[in-house]
């Protein structure tokens, strides 16, 4: 389209048409400035200032338009000719319209100049943070939005050298930003975060934290020295349970990071665990003995009548399931395995302490229900493998798969009993089963494809 034709057309417009054109053009300019403010880190007041400038400039445009359409009337009228005046003889109209090309160029130049000046002379906190992030050797130490509520997360540890990495998460648990830092006091926007803490010679720690209030969060970082006795365990600090009205203190202990796997249990079998009577809890009752008082652990047999979980064959776990939790075992077998590792089954207080800490959460990661099936294995077809890739379901202490996957045996509450509790819910269950108030007791000889265990020390 020829620009000259457009300009000629504009010059023929009335004042109201000019006002309309100006308002449309001004609205477009205002939207552009607003967009630049968000992307270029301009001051918050910049769009309002631009709008004020557009409003102030409107009377100038109107004045120019009005003057540009001034007419000088040359009327020669005698008293005898006043009734018939011809337009072409009595009125000579001189119309001079504003040069809109120049006006638009001036306006655009002013807006561009203001934008440049705003970027150079009025950097905001956002732009300062972005610049600091680019120049920082550790990427960024604080991920903050100047306009958002900020919480402080303090990582408390007696270990000097910590490598700290954290991920800010979107609502769908996708990673929004990854940060590596050595700082232990972090100012963070409200939201969900996953942390990975490492140090040479210590077990890695990975956990979630739901930063949902504008307050100070103190997080204890208790790393365990790496050795054969503490492999894949996490420290659970001394504390209490919010659901326990008595406020009883639970002393610190260590818990397996993952549920015991088929591969782990195979080592127990190959070491002679079923034949070693000292590993089996004879104090529980007569259920380990037959009528002649003979030890009957060899009654816990697989599909081929060899000592092993019920779903194994030839004392070998199903192919490709070495890293999935061991199931189809009784409480006695779970207890014997823990004894073999110089550990024991967790008590109810210990298990729930590891799962919820002192928080009044619905789940180990917090109260997020929108991503439940990404965080925990409920209402599915089978158990999933033990892996630290699913960090989003870990508790604040770095313990995985406490909610769902397989239900877990707890230690017995007294010796003269024939039942013990399972907790956490499994892949077959609905998520509401993960509830500290639900007490499900089963016979010590019970076994199922959705019941496994983990140990504490």
pLDDT score for 426: 97
> Can you tell me the distance from the alpha carbon of 211 to that of 42, in angstroms, rounded to the nearest whole number?
28
The domain defined by 141-226 carries CATH number 3.20.20.70:
no
Structure tokens at 211: 């930063």
State the pLDDT at residue 114: 58
Task: Answer whether 317's CB lies under 8 Å from 305's CB.
Answer: no
pLDDT of residue 125: 41
Predicted pLDDT at 25: 74
Comparing CA positions, the residue from 434, 353, 429 lying closest to residue 395 is: 353
Q: Are 137 and 183 in contact (CB under 8 A)?
A: no
**H-helix or E-strand spanning residue 120:** helix 100-121
Mean pLDDT by 10 residues, the chain (457 residues): 54 65 71 65 66 68 52 39 44 46 58 58 43 38 61 93 94 93 95 94 93 93 91 94 88 97 97 91 62 62 95 96 97 96 97 93 92 95 91 95 97 87 97 94 95 98
Place of tokens 């030890």: 295
User: What's the rounded Cα separation, in Å, for the pair 364 and 359?
Assistant: 9
141-226 and 227-457 agree in CATH topology = no
Residue 241 confidence (pLDDT)? 92
Specify the CATH number of the domain 227-457: 3.90.1580.10
99 torsion bin: left (phi>0), alpha (psi -120 to 50), beta (else): beta
Structural domain boundaries in the chain:
3-68+97-123, 141-226, 227-457
> Measuring CA to CA, how many Å separate 252 from each of 235, 239, 325, 439?
7, 8, 25, 24
User: What pLDDT, on a 0 to 100 scale, did the predictor assign at position 76?
Assistant: 38
Strands (E), 64-211: 150-156, 163-169, 175-181, 185-189, 191-198, 205-211
3-state secondary structure 280-324: CCCCCCHHHECCCCCECHHHCECCCCCECCCCCECCECCCCCCCC
**Residue written as tokens 């077959």?**
428
């Amino acid at each position: 389209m020829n620009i000259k034709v457009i300009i000629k057309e504009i010059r023929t417009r009335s004042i109201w048409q000019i006002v309309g054109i100006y308002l449309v053009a001004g609205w477009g300019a205002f939207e552009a400035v607003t967009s630049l403010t968000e992307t270029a880190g301009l001051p918050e007041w910049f769009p309002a200032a631009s709008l004020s400038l557009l409003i102030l400039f409107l009377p100038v445009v109107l004045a120019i338009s009005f003057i540009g359409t001034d007419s000088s009337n040359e009327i020669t009228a005698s008293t005898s000719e006043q009734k018939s005046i011809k337009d072409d003889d009595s009125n000579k109209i001189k119309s001079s319209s504003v040069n809109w090309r120049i006006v638009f160029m001036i306006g655009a130049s002013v807006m561009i100049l203001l934008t440049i000046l705003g970027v150079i002379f009025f950097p905001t906190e956002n732009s300062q943070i972005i610049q600091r992030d680019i120049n920082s050797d550790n990427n960024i130490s604080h991920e903050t939005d100047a306009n958002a509520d900020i919480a402080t997360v303090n990582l408390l540890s007696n270990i000097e050298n910590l490598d700290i990495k954290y991920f800010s998460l979107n609502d769908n648990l996708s990673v929004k930003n990854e940060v590596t830092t050595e700082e232990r006091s972090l100012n963070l926007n409200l939201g969900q975060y996953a942390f990975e803490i490492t140090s040479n010679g210590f077990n890695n720690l990975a956990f979630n934290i739901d930063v949902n209030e504008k307050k100070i969060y103190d997080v204890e970082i208790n790393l365990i020295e790496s050795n054969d006795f503490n492999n894949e365990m996490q420290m659970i600090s001394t504390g209490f349970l919010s659901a326990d009205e008595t406020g009883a203190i639970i002393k610190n202990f260590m818990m397996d990071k993952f549920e015991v796997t088929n591969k782990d249990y195979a080592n127990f079998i190959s070491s002679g665990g079923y034949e070693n009577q000292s590993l089996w809890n004879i104090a529980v009752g007569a259920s380990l003995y037959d009528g002649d008082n003979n030890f009957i652990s060899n009654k816990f047999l697989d599909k081929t009548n060899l000592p092993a979980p019920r779903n194994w064959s030839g004392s070998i776990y199903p192919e490709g399931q070495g890293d999935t939790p061991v199931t189809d075992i009784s409480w006695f077998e779970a207890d014997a395995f823990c004894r073999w590792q110089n550990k024991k089954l967790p008590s109810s207080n210990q298990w729930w302490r590891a799962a919820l800490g002192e928080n009044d959460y619905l789940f180990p990661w917090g109260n997020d229900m929108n991503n439940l099936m990404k965080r925990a294995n409920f209402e599915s077809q089978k158990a999933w493998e033990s892996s630290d890739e699913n960090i989003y379901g870990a508790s604040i202490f770095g313990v995985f798969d406490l909610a769902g996957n397989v239900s877990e045996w707890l230690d017995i509450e007294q010796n003269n009993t024939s039942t013990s509790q399972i907790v956490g819910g499994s892949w077959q269950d609905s998520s509401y089963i993960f509830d500290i108030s639900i007490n499900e007791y089963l016979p010590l000889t019970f076994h199922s494809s959705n019941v496994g265990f983990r140990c504490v020390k």
